[in-house]
């Protein structure tokens, strides 16, 4: 959706639909409506229409000049914070997107429940862009709204600079969130490893000037001794791809902080010989969501001129069955030299990540983050709403949790204990790739990964198996399909909230 900023009432006055907001009934009236005439008209109507102004409640009426007006409830003043605003705007978008308006204008400052004009404009933009997302390329009948853009009227010319900057930042973040969603929603026959790498390369070339791209295939991975990664690819019709992106800020010095990210890019997970039953296999195109998430965050951070050096490593393959696929009981030597007994070929994500983490540590980052749809156990532990975080440095984990909190995304730490490290030891090899069935699956997976983090790098692992898709409780996410969550949190970490 195109967002147009308006600092004089020109577009607002002419709009087919004017959108304004207010708190709930018994609280101070939101006195920041730009149109005082409209405001007094609404005051008169409000009680007769029994409109209470609770969060997401709507009232449509005809304004004093015959225009259509939508009043939106922001709810109780003390609860009306950033997330409430995102949700209210999302519901507003849902309410109007199927209506036949040609032009829509929002009185943005009437929605300023965060007491910061630029922040309010940023949040409105963010929510509109996330809410108007659709994955409709395979639909003949697309439900495109009749209006082509939404005008945000900011009745304060002095705020122009700050608002423009904040809105541009939100546009960069949400175009990246939506890019992540597109990748995750794409079908596995279209977005296989080779096509995926090409899609990333094309996006970098088009949108991320100055970012270095290196794409590695089977021959390069063999040279790098990434045998765990290759073992997952052994049954595939497509070559493995490791995409290595590097961003260096313009003002980099030798003290510039370096953050590396690694993403699980399983374009489809059949389970391999440890085959998933049909019902559990459905939806496994989303098993590359970790890589799409770290790429989305990388993209947004680069567009918003992050002050940090950022390395992004995406491990791409599918996990397929064929006569050449890896058999359970195989023992494979990792890039770091540890031998791994592969008892279950469905625990494949950790194999790809293991070699990628070891490779990432060689880039000498100060901080390391990986994101992956790694375990079904994560859904058992934390549901589909909460992202799990584990790692080797509580300070770094807490920092990430704070970024999540700031972005209103749920993230909770799970422990790694010595007993679970022991659970990943094999009798005949250094490690095995599964722990005790049905016991702490998310944490034993992280305990496995920990063996591949070296050089004292501070590492955090994000299991996004739950939050990666179908967030029916969030009105700014599609109820079915890729969520794009965690991109905002990681972008915040990569730009330090700037
Ligand atoms: N991609 C799956 C994890 C997953 C499962 C994510 C369901 C979302 C929903 C992963 O590769 C996997 O299959 N993990 C196994 C590990 C087990 C064999 C130790 C799992 O969770 O069952
Ligand atoms: Mn699997
Ligand atoms: Zn998987």
Please list the residues that pair with 311 across neighbouring strands: 246, 260
Please say whether the beta carbons of 161 and 465 come within 8 A: no
Measured between alpha carbons, how far is 311 from 298 in angstroms, rounded to an integer?
8
The percentage of residues in the chain with a pLDDT greater than 70, rounded to a whole number, is: 99
| pLDDT for the residue 309 | 98
The pLDDT score that the predictor gives to residue 40 is 87
Compute the distance between CA of residue 181 and CA of residue 200 in angstroms, rounded to an integer.
13
pLDDT at 47: 74
Picking from 169, 198, 213, the residue at the C-terminal end of a domain is: 169
Whether the Cβ atoms of residue 105 and residue 150 lie closer than 8 Å to each other: yes
Average pLDDT estimate for 253-280: 97
> How, if at all, do strands 212-216 and 241-247 pair?
antiparallel
Grade residue 77 by pLDDT with cuts at 50, 70 and 90: confident
Confirm whether 177 is domain-assigned.
no
Q: Give the three-state DSSP class for 328.
A: coil
The answer to whether the CB of 287 is under 6 A from ligand 1 is yes
What residues contact residue 328 under an 8 Å CB cut-off, 6+ apart?
A: 273, 274, 342, 343, 344, 345
* Same-domain status, 292 and 317: yes
Residue 119, pLDDT score: 98
Across the range 437-446, mean pLDDT stands at 98
CA 406 from centre of chain: 14
Question: What is the whole-number distance in angstroms between the Cα of residue 164 and the centre of ligand 3?
Answer: 41
Domain match, 129 and 157 both: yes
Q: Whose C-alpha lies nearest to ligand 1, atom 18? A: 347
User: What's the CA dihedral at 321, 323, 329, 333 to 10 degrees?
Assistant: -90
Residues 131 and 201 in one domain: no
Question: Are residues 94 and 6 both part of a single domain?
Answer: yes
- In this predicted structure, the answer to whether residue 369 has a pLDDT above a threshold of 80 is yes
* One domain for residues 94 and 190: no
Nearest bound ligand to the CA of residue 439: 1
Indicate if the pLDDT at residue 51 is higher than 90: no
Pairing outcome for strands 431-432 and 339-342: parallel
| Confidence (pLDDT) at 29 | 57
Whether residues 56 and 204 fall in one domain: no
Give the span between the Cα atoms of 365 and 455, in whole angstroms: 9
Cα 319 to ligand 2 centroid, rounded to whole Å: 8
In a domain, 264, yes or no: yes
Look at residue 222 in the predicted model and tell me its pLDDT. 98
Task: Please check whether residues 200 and 266 belong to one and the same domain.
Answer: yes
Asked whether the beta carbons of 149 and 123 are under 8 A apart, the reply is no
| Pocket lining: 341 vs ligand 1, CB cutoff 6 Å | no
Nearest CA to ligand 1 atom 17: 347
pLDDT score at 334: 98
Give domain status of residue 190, yes or no: yes
Overall average pLDDT of the 82-111 stretch = 95
Query: Residue 218 Cα, ligand 3 centroid: separation in angstroms?
Result: 20
pLDDT at 478 exceeding the cut of 70? yes
Is residue 181 in some structural domain?
A: no
- Neighbouring-strand partners of residue 243: 215, 314
pLDDT, residue 24, reads 87
> Does the C-beta of 377 come closer than 6 Å to ligand 1?
yes
Q: Based on the fold, state whether residues 224 and 287 are members of the same structural domain.
A: yes
Confidence tier at 31 by pLDDT (50, 70, 90): low
Which range marks the domain in which residue 294 is found? 186-496
pLDDT(387) > 60: yes
pLDDT tops 90 at residue 375: yes
Residue 43: pLDDT band with limits 50, 70, 90: confident
Residue 110 binned pLDDT confidence (cut-offs 50, 70, 90): very high
- The tokens describing 198, both together, are 């090409």
Of 87, 91, 350, 432, which is the active-site residue?
A: 350
User: Cβ neighbours of residue 86 under 8 Å, at least 6 residues apart?
Assistant: 123, 126, 127, 130, 408, 476
Does residue 478 lie in a domain region?
A: yes
pTM, entire model: 0.97
Q: What is the pLDDT of residues 135-175, one digit of tens each?
A: 999 999 999 999 999 999 999 999 999 999 999 999 999 99
CATH of the domain at 9: 3.40.220.10
Tell me the pLDDT band of 486, cut-offs 50, 70 and 90.
very high
Please give the average per-residue pLDDT across 459-469, as a whole number. Answer: 98
Same domain, 254 and 158: no
328: CATH: 3.40.630.10
In a domain, 85, yes or no: yes
Question: Does the residue 179 lie in any domain?
Answer: no
DSSP SS3 for 369? strand
Residue nearest to atom 3 of ligand 1 (CA): 375
How many CB atoms sit inside 10 A of residue 234's CB? 21
CB 469 near ligand 1, within 6 Å:
no
**What is the per-residue pLDDT for 33?**
87
pLDDT over 70 at 227, yes or no:
yes
Centre of ligand 1 from the C-alpha of residue 403, in Å: 27
What integer pLDDT is reported at residue 433 of this predicted model?
A: 98
Same domain membership, residue 228 and residue 120: no
On whether residue 175 sits in a domain, the answer given is no
Q: 349 CB under 6 A from ligand 1?
A: yes
Does the C-beta of 318 come closer than 6 Å to ligand 1? no
421 assigned to active site: no
Q: Whole-angstrom Cα distance, residue 390 to residue 460?
A: 6
| Mean pLDDT along residues 184-189 | 98
Number of domains in the chain: 2
Structure tokens at 471: 């967030």
* Shared domain check, 371 and 473: yes
Higher pLDDT, 308 or 43: 308
Which tokens go with 14?
């002419």
What tokens does 157 get?
């010319």
Residue 320 has pLDDT above 60, yes or no: yes
Task: Indicate whether 67 pLDDT > 80.
Answer: yes
Q: pLDDT tens across 403-423, in order?
A: 999 999 999 999 999 999 999
Query: Which residue among the candidates 198, 218, 257, 276 is catalytic per the annotation?
Result: 276
Q: Is 344 in the pocket of ligand 1 (CB under 6 A)?
A: yes
49 is catalytic: no
- For the Cβ of 465 lying below 6 angstroms from any atom of ligand 1, the answer is yes
Query: With 90 as the cut, is the pLDDT of residue 6 above it?
Result: yes
| Cα 303 from Cα 301, distance rounded (Å) | 6
Please identify, by atom number, the ligand 1 atom nearest to the C-alpha of residue 444.
19
Last residue in a domain, options 138, 169, 200: 169
Asked if residue 257 and residue 229 are part of one domain, the reply reads yes
Strand arrangement, sheet containing 387-391: 212-216, 241-247, 309-319, 258-269, 367-372, 458-463, 387-391, 411-413
Write down the pLDDT at residue 30: 60
- Average pLDDT along the chain: 96
**Ligand 1 centroid to residue 270 C-alpha, Å:** 10
**Nearest atom in ligand 1 to 280's CA:** 7
CA distance linking residue 62 with residue 38, whole number of Å: 10
Indicate whether 28 pLDDT > 60. Answer: no
User: How many CB atoms neighbour CB 218 within 10 A?
Assistant: 16
């Amino acid at each position: 959706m195109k967002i147009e900023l308006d600092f004089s009432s020109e577009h607002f006055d002419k709009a087919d639909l004017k959108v304004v907001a207010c708190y709930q009934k018994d609280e101070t009236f939101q006195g920041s409506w730009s149109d005082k005439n409209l405001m007094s008209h609404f005051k008169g109507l409000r009680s007769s229409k029994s409109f209470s102004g609770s969060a997401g409640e709507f009232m449509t009426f005809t304004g004093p000049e015959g225009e259509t007006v939508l009043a939106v409830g922001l709810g109780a003043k003390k609860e009306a914070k950033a997330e409430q605003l995102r949700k209210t705007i999302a519901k507003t978008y849902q309410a109007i997107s199927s209506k036949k308006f040609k032009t829509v204008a929002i009185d943005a400052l009437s929605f300023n429940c965060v007491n910061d004009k630029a922040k309010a404009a940023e949040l409105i933009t963010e929510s509109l862009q996330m809410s108007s997302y659709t994955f409709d390329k395979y639909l003949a009948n697309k439900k495109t709204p009749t209006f082509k853009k939404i005008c945000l009227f900011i009745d304060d010319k002095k705020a122009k600079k700050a608002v423009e900057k904040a809105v541009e930042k939100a546009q960069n973040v949400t175009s990246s969130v939506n890019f992540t969603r597109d990748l995750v929603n794409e079908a596995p026959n279209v977005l296989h490893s080779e096509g995926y790498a090409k899609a990333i390369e094309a996006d970098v070339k088009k949108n991320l000037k100055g970012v270095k791209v290196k794409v590695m295939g089977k021959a390069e991975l063999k040279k790098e001794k990434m045998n765990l990664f290759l073992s997952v690819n052994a049954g595939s019709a497509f070559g493995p791809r490791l995409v290595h992106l590097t961003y260096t800020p313009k003002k980099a010095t030798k003290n510039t902080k370096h953050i590396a990210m690694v993403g699980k890019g399983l374009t489809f997970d059949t389970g391999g010989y440890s085959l998933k039953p049909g019902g559990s296999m459905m939806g496994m195109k989303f098993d590359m969501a970790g890589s799409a998430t770290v790429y989305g965050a990388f993209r947004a951070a680069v567009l918003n001129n992050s002050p940090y050096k950022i390395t992004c490593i995406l491990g791409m393959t599918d996990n397929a069955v064929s006569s050449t696929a890896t058999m359970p009981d195989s023992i494979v030597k990792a890039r770091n030299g540890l031998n791994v007994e592969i008892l279950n070929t469905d625990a494949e994500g950790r194999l790809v990540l293991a070699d990628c983490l070891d490779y990432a540590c060689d880039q000498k980052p100060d901080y390391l983050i990986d994101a992956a749809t790694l375990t079904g156990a994560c859904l058992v532990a934390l549901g589909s709403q909460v992202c799990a975080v584990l790692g080797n440095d509580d300070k770094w984990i807490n920092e990430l949790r704070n970024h999540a909190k700031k972005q209103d995304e749920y993230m909770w730490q799970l422990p790694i204990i010595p007993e679970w490290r022991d659970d990943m030891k094999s009798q005949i090899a250094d490690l095995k790739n599964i722990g005790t069935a049905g016991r702490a699956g998310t944490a034993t997976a992280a305990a496995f990964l920990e063996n591949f983090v070296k050089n004292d790098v501070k590492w955090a692992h994000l299991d996004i198996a739950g939050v990666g898709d179908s967030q029916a409780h969030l009105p700014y996410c599609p109820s079915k399909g890729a969520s794009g969550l965690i991109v905002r949190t990681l972008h915040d970490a990569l730009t330090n909230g700037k």
